[in-house]
Every structure is written in C-alpha cells, then in structure tokens.
A and B are shown apart, each in its own frame.
Chain A
C-alpha cells in the first residue's frame, strides 16, 4: 500500500499543519510516512503546499507528480493540481474559495464549503481540519478516530481546549464527503 496526498492553498490556511496531522496519524498507526513542504522565498500570503506519502514499506520518492489524493484550498491550487490528478483520484475542493466548475471528468471532486463550516463551528482556522476530514472519507488507511488521537497526542497541552472543535471540524468534513461519495453511513 502506498498513498500520496498533496495539500495546497495560501500560506496561513493551515496547509502544512494539516499534512502534519495526517503524518502523525500514519506514524501512530505504524505506517511509513513522509511529509515534505514546498519551501521557497515566499511566505505569508504566498502559496504553500505539502506532500504526504503513507506506505507499508520504505518510501522512495517523498514527492509525487500525479497524486491520487489532493486538497485544494484556493483557486490557484485548484488550477495547478486539478490537471495533475491521477485518473480515478479524489480531489477535495474548498468550494468557499473556488467558484469555477470542475474540468476533469475522470476524477472524483468533493466540494466542501470549508470556510463556512469552520465559521459555523466557531473558528475560521478550522478550515484545514474540515477538508482533512473530507479526505479521510477517501483514505481507508486512516479513520477520523485516528486523526482525533493524532491531534490529542501531538498538539501541545496548552492547545487541548481546542480539541473538541477540531474533532467537530473533522467529522463535519467527513460526513459531507461521505454524502457526496454516496457511501452508506455506518
């Protein structure tokens, strides 16, 4: 088993942290995992992305050209990664910030109004956890419970009062993605 995931958006949208939570969950579940950010001269307000690879055996390349799974948090990321998706792949689209319609017919695009959901829960900074929750619906190697555990294990204790809202964000994203994937609820 090997799954590659690209998460992309503006700097400040929690792109890198979203990838790290996935990586921590994979680590806690005994998987091999790599997390690598794009690093460049630009920082705040620029584009940010990270690649997470989860596998059962030693990981070769930590980078992937045509990801089977991706999250696009803004329009530039959507424009960049939609054409690169592996046929049959799943792209989580933050429809709060992306108003154009999908161009690809051979991938599954899950539209999640992540900003609005995060604001409903009470914090715009939860946008990243909403889309990660949506991704988990297409990543059977990890569960929402794994993600919750990863947050609990690796977030500094001083942030633990934020855990319940993070859990809510994960669950809301997951539920919405499941509806769109038309998979019967458990």
Chain B
C-alpha cells in the first residue's frame, strides 16, 4: 500500500476495519471521537455493525456480548470513558475472551481536560478493573505504530484469549503523519472452540465470569496467569536508539518517548552519550531488557506525561543497579524537547544517588520557585 498522510485516530479505525473488525460499540469523547466517526461511516457501508451506545457502560457490555461469538470487535474511548468501562472490562477478562480496546488518553483525574496525557498507565497496565488479571497493553508513538499495533492487537487478543488495549495520548490521535495501511482482508471468522455461535448440534457452550466455587475460580485465575507467563515470554516489544555506547538512557513510552528522541539527538550533538529506550509493550513490560541496560549505564531518566507511573516499573526492572531519575509533565501538558534536554544535561552532570526517591526529587524541582 502507498504511504498516505493519515490522522492517528482515523488510521486506527481504518486499520481495524482492514483486519476484519466486524462490530464496534462506543460513545463519543474527545480526543478520540474521530475513531468513532470514521467507523460510523465505514462499517455500515461495508455491511458491518456500528452502534453508538447510550453510554460507555452500555458500549463495553455490547462488546462483551459480541466478542463471545468469536467475531472481531472493539471499542474505544478516552480516559473518563474508559473508567466507566472498567466493570465490563473485568467481566471480559474473567470470561477469557479476546477484545481490543483503545484509550486515547487525556488530562485527569476526573473530567480533567481534553489535552494529551499519560495518566492512565497504572489503570491500563495493572488492569483497572477488579480481580486478578493482566491485559496486554501497547503504546504507539507514531501513526504507523498505531496502525501496526491495531493489526497486532487483534491477533494477540485472540492468541491469548485476552484483552489487548492500545494506549495513546491525545496528540497521537490528532497527529497526521505518512503511514501505510494494511491491505483490506476479507473477514475470516475462526471457528474458535470457545465461541458461542450456535450449537448446530454440538455440545452447548457457556461463557461466563462466574465461578461460584472458589476452587474453580482459583483454577481459572491460575490458567490466566499461565497464559500471562507465555505472553511475557513471547510478546515483549521495545525500541532502542543510540543505546550501544550510552552512558545515560532516557526511558519513555508513546509521545513522551518520541519527544525525548528529539532531546536525545540534541544532547548527542553536545557530546553527551545518551540513548533512548522506548517500551512498545508496556504490559508485558520489558523488565529483563531494562535490567540488562541498567548494568552498563551510569543512570536512567524516565520521562512521562504523568507524575511517575511507568517509573515504578523501571525501578522494579533495574533492581537498584543504577540511579533512576524522573521528569514528568502531568495534567495534559506536553513537554518540549528543550525541557527534556535540560534534564539530560542535569542527569549527565550531577552526582546521582541510588537512595533518592526520584518522584519526590522531581516534585521538589518542579515546585521550587
């Protein structure tokens, strides 16, 4: 396919269609409404299902029901809308069915604002809903990655009978970049051995998240963890820039990661040996890869558009091997490369401590006047 100038939100929607999205259920919310808008036009014209539900609560339960048939279904929303979906998301996780969800994150908590943010990392990566489960969470930083991850998310969700969520901040949703869409594939609904799609004489199947007998629920929980073990083994993805001979490495996902790339390049021009590590799967998180990296650098700088959430996973990964520093812009503020460059310079020239709490040190710097 040729490279086209595509907007992040529309690219996600069109990519989903081309890999066989059969039904979408959602409710409009900025800054992801273009996903819903695009699908509201395209799905009916292809004879597929588009439903604008009365609320996000309704939408996620429609997704739940439709996914039980084995069809490729999805929903998308932005932060407050995703919070509303959490009960349904937990039920989907407990029923072990594949569902693709997209969160185009905005500033919060609460109603917050509609500006780009990464404050939903914990909610996404640690499941968000009640009970013991882990979804796969992908964090694109370009329109092309948003397309590729949409394609991948359906395969991953089906392979592991799990929720696969794409988290991108509002700026990726609104950004236009040259990107290549996948070719249109015919819908090929697989004959899953778990789907409820009409018995046709075979044994009846029941899909549910109810395990009245605790021992049965325990078995289901352990089955899900076994599957998670496989996901951790097979599905970790990340991208490294200039890390080969780096003394320091910036760690950032999504927009924060790509903005940090500009800062890393500028720092390299000034002779600072700095690299960038950008997790693409934030769940499963590239713990082992970061641990390896932490053994050969003098410090890590985590940059996020929140108050230090992925930071905790980075700290877990590095096991105290190297100091970890933090720089964040929460609330919908997008950092400029110059700010991150300044932080790289600070990290490269100060005496770093293994004992300091990077969030609190950052907070002191951010609020000092």
Q: How far is the CA of A3 from the CA of B4 in the complex (A)?
A: 20
With A20-B5, A24-B5, A58-B261 as contacts: A36 and B178 at CB distance below 8 Å: no
Please give the distance in Å from A16's CB to the nearest CB on chain B: 10
Question: Shortest beta-carbon distance, A47 to chain B, in Å?
Answer: 15
Chain B 345-366: CB-based contact to A (< 8 A → 1; otherwise 0): 0000000000000000000000
Q: Whole-angstrom distance between the alpha carbons of A63 and B174 in the complex? A: 12
Q: Determine whether the beta carbon of B114 is less than 8 Å from that of A41.
A: yes
Given A61-B336, A64-B336, A34-B259 contact (CB < 8 Å): no
A60 and B258 contact, CB distance less than 8 A: yes
A170 interface hit (Cβ, 8 Å): no
> Is B334 close to A, CB under 8 A?
yes
Interchain nearest-CB distance for B274 vs A (Å): 13
Please state if B114 and A33 are interface contacts (CB–CB under 8 Å).
no
A32 CB within 8 Å of chain B: yes
CA distance A58 to B242 in the complex (A): 14
B31 contacts the other chain (CB 8 A): yes
B182 at the interface (CB under 8 A from A): no
Are B176 and A36 closer than 8 Å at their CB atoms? Answer: yes
Once the chains are docked, how many angstroms separate the CA of A32 from the CA of B258? 14
CA distance A20 to B258 in the complex (A): 21
Q: Interface readout for B253-265 with A: 1 if CB under 8 Å, 0 if not? A: 0000011111111
Assembly CA distance A66 to B177 (angstroms): 21
Is A32 within 8 A of B174, CB to CB? no
CB of B162 within 8 Å of the partner chain = no
Q: Does A37 contact B (CB under 8 A)?
A: yes
> Given A27-B3, A65-B338, are A33 and B178 neighbors across the interface (CB < 8 Å)?
yes
Question: How many B residues face the partner with a CB closer than 8 A?
Answer: 25
CB contacts (< 8 Å) of A60 on chain B: these are: 258-265, 337
Q: Out of A27, A33, A34, A63, which one reaches B336, CB within 8 Å? A: A63
Residue from the list A24, A33, A36, A66 in contact with B171, Cβ < 8 A: A36
Q: Contacts A35-B176, A61-B258 known; A40 to B338 CB distance under 8 Å?
A: no
Q: Is the CB of B3 within 8 A of A39?
A: no
Q: Is A132 an interface residue (CB 8 A)?
A: no
Interface: A6 (CB within 8 A): no
Q: Which of A23, A41, A63, A64 lies in contact with B176, CB distance below 8 A?
A: A23
Q: Select which of B5, B171, B338 is within 8 A of A62 by beta carbon.
A: B171
Closest A residue by C-beta to B340: A61
Q: What is the minimal beta-carbon distance from A75 to any residue of chain B, in angstroms?
A: 25
Inter-subunit contact A40/B176 (CB<8 Å): no
> Is B30 part of the contact surface with A, judged by Cβ < 8 Å?
yes
Q: A24-B5, A60-B258, A63-B336 are in contact. Are A35 and B175 (CB under 8 A)?
A: yes
- Is B178's CB under 8 angstroms from A61's CB? no
* Contact of B119 with A by CB under 8 A: no
A27–B3 Cα gap in the complex (Å)? 8
Contacts of B260 in A (CB 8 A): 60
CB-CB contacts of B324-342 with A at 8 A, as 1s and 0s?
Answer: 0000000000101110000
What are 9 pairs between A and B in contact, CB < 8 Å?
Answer: A32-B178, A36-B175, A39-B114, A58-B261, A61-B337, A63-B334, A63-B336, A66-B338, A154-B5
Given contacts A23-B5, A33-B177, 17 further A-B contacts (CB under 8 A): A33-B5, A33-B178, A34-B175, A34-B176, A35-B175, A37-B174, A39-B114, A41-B114, A60-B263, A60-B264, A61-B259, A61-B336, A63-B334, A64-B336, A65-B336, A65-B337, A66-B338
The 5 closest A-B pairs by CB, nearest first: A60-B262, A60-B261, A35-B176, A61-B259, A61-B262
